[in-house]
Structure 1
């Protein structure tokens, strides 16, 4: 969902790579030790055309699968928003539980002990308490869960064992709590406002506009890397495409759907692209440090739920902030 012409440009995720110099297990096994490698015959089988490799696009992902999944999810969410908007709260709750589990699983694979039970339960409290009590419910649930995570991790090894890496694990746990369920709660706060379903629909349309603009411009014109140390395939041309499409989308949706000043749409479009790009870069760096490509495998062509939401979550916060302040 970011300006890079790679998978992230349309899926809300970035095709991150292992840290520089790192060799994957598969590569290591194939290479072997210096003593294991012996000369062998050179393969002469022609390389299959790139277009035939699993239907992958120039951006390096399974484009048909990604489009099918994205279209199905998008149409389902639009139908929910137009006909049964309150159901979206349950959809968000389920998605955040899965996304939190994906992140916690990957962290624990890297020996970061994230307390999964309080993180999952507290995340659900943040989501559901937004419905009756709004921002106060969200803030209270977040504070209570953060305190619970501190205490839980303190005694995670029992009463007699000395905690190891307590500060690191606790800080990362609270980061995950803020990164996933807290940011998602702002979509619910938008939904509960006047014309809330149209506000959320506006936010979703702008995310898609940013996504499509970044992908098209990145693939067709991407030449200048944006942040090569974090995500080598992201380009300034893709960023420009995201910006143009998102601003146009903001002008149209804010004017036609929300019946508001068009300049609010411009501000919303610019702000959304900035935070969406930042959110995607954050997840790219996290995945690089963990040495993984995707957070999960649930969505074909996209990765996991969190790979789809990495730029949408901060965009939900900015959309809520702009629309609440200016409408």
Structure 2
């Protein structure tokens, strides 16, 4: 393995001695991702490839950073989302540049930070306009560079803006109603349940039936089943109390989140495999980069907002 900008990069292909980029050890779950330990970490990983003490500690810290502002001052919570999107965009842009795709950093970071704030202040219309403006400014900045690969680079910029900042806007939209705090808890709690349930089921079962071995060899159908069960339980509890929704709505939300969280995790695994990296960065011990934690959340946010809003309004 070699290291590029703090990320481990495989030197050999699938037939070589290095593990395929983006792969996970057998037994990890769909919800848990393929977040192995960062290069240089000496701690011994768990059976599913994680440094569990570090992962649990970082997870508790991240939970506090999210929940304390959510239940005190929602504007600060939106600011936390914006800061996370800026950092996540920085990680993804640096990773994409390893493939020689020249996407402009500053407009994309600024746009990703702005989209949750604008969504919170002005709703879906403002969010769509900010997305369009971010892509437009990024394209304009890139147009002043070399003409070679211009369309490719603009497409890359549009992907980054739509992949990170735009879906985060829907997480901010969830906070708008008077019960918005609990709507966010329903969204976040169900995604976390997908991760925990999938991880547990994948480890206990050994993950023998692979879901997408060419994309992420550690993802198993046993893990997905665990994700679905825990998502349904958590979504059913949170929607029934304190949001007072119907039981079938909790079941529907749980099943939808199990699917979207898994798709988000697999999607980033595919992106990292194409780039040739294991993690987006080594920012979070036991997890990898920030985007290695946000992938499932970002893919789920628009669907969760749509379903929860439909159920409760």
* Distance (Å, rounded) in 2 between the aligned partners of 1:208 and 1:123: 23
Q: How does 1:124-135 map to 2 (within 5 A)?
A: 124-135=113-124
In structure 2, what is the equivalent of residue 84 of structure 1? 73
Cα distance between partner residues in 1 of 2:187 and 2:27: 22
For this pair of structures, how many residues does the alignment match?
Answer: 282
Cα distance change, pair 203–188 in 1 and its aligned pair in 2 (3 A): same
1:168 is displaced (CA, Å) by 1.4
Please show how residues 253-264 of structure 1 align to structure 2 within 5 Å: 253-264=238-249
Q: 1:6 aligns with which of 12, 21, 28?
A: 28
Contact in 1 for aligned 2:30/2:262 (Cα 8 Å): no
The equivalent of 1:175 in structure 2 is: 159
Instruction: Please give the root-mean-square deviation of Cα atoms over the aligned residues, in Å.
Output: 1.7
In structure 1, what is the equivalent of residue 193 of structure 2? 209
Task: Identify the residue that residue 199 of structure 1 maps to in structure 2.
Answer: 183
2:224 to 219, 233, 239: 239
Q: Secondary structure at the match of 1:234?
A: strand
CA pair 134-281 structure 1, distance change in 2 beyond 3 A: same
The structure with the larger Rg is 1
Structure 1 gaps of 5+ residues are 17-52, 158-162
Whole-angstrom distance in 1 between the partners of 2:30 and 2:208: 16
TM-score by length of 1: 0.83
Give 1:165 deviation, angstroms.
1.1
Question: Structure 1: how far apart are the matches of 2:183 and 2:27?
Answer: 28
Deviation at 1:15, TM superposition (A): 4.3
The Cα of 1:120 is off from its aligned counterpart by: 1.4
Aligned equivalents of 1:126 and 1:71: distance in 2?
26
8 Å Cα contact 1:119/1:177 also seen in 2 = yes
Moved more, 122-131 or 260-269: 122-131
Deviation at 1:140, TM superposition (A): 0.8
1:136 aligns with 2:125: yes
Alignment of 1:296-307 (within 5 A): 296-307=281-292
Equivalent-residue separation in structure 2 for 1:124 and 1:293 (angstroms): 25
Question: CA 1:5–1:310 in 2, change beyond 3 Å: closer, same or farther?
Answer: farther
Aligned to 2:212: 227
Q: CA deviation at 1:7?
A: 7.7
Alignment of 1:45-194 (within 5 A): 54-157=43-146, 163-194=147-178
Q: Distance in 2 between matches of 1:84 and 1:141?
A: 24
Q: Deviations over 1:5-33 (max 9, x none)?
A: 438744xx3248xxxxxxxxxxxxxxxxx
Q: SS where residue 71 of structure 2 aligns?
A: helix
Matched residues in 1 for 2:61 and 2:35: separation? 22
Q: 2:267 aligns with which of 254, 267, 282?
A: 282
Q: 1:308: how far off?
A: 0.6
**Contact persistence 1:230–1:285 (CA under 8 A):** yes
Alpha-carbon offset, residue 167 of structure 1: 1.6
Report the Cα distance in structure 1 between the residues aligned to 2:284 and 2:113, rounded to whole angstroms. 22
Q: Shift of the alpha carbon at 1:109? A: 2.1
Where structure 2 has 5 or more consecutive residues not aligned to the other structure, the ranges are: 1-23, 37-41
Aligned partners of 2:229 and 2:165: how far apart in 1? Answer: 30
Q: Give structure 1 regions of 4+ aligned residues with deviation exceeding 3 angstroms.
A: 7-10
Confirm whether residue 319 of structure 1 aligns to residue 304 of structure 2: yes
Distance change in 2, residues 1:80/1:5 (3 Å): farther
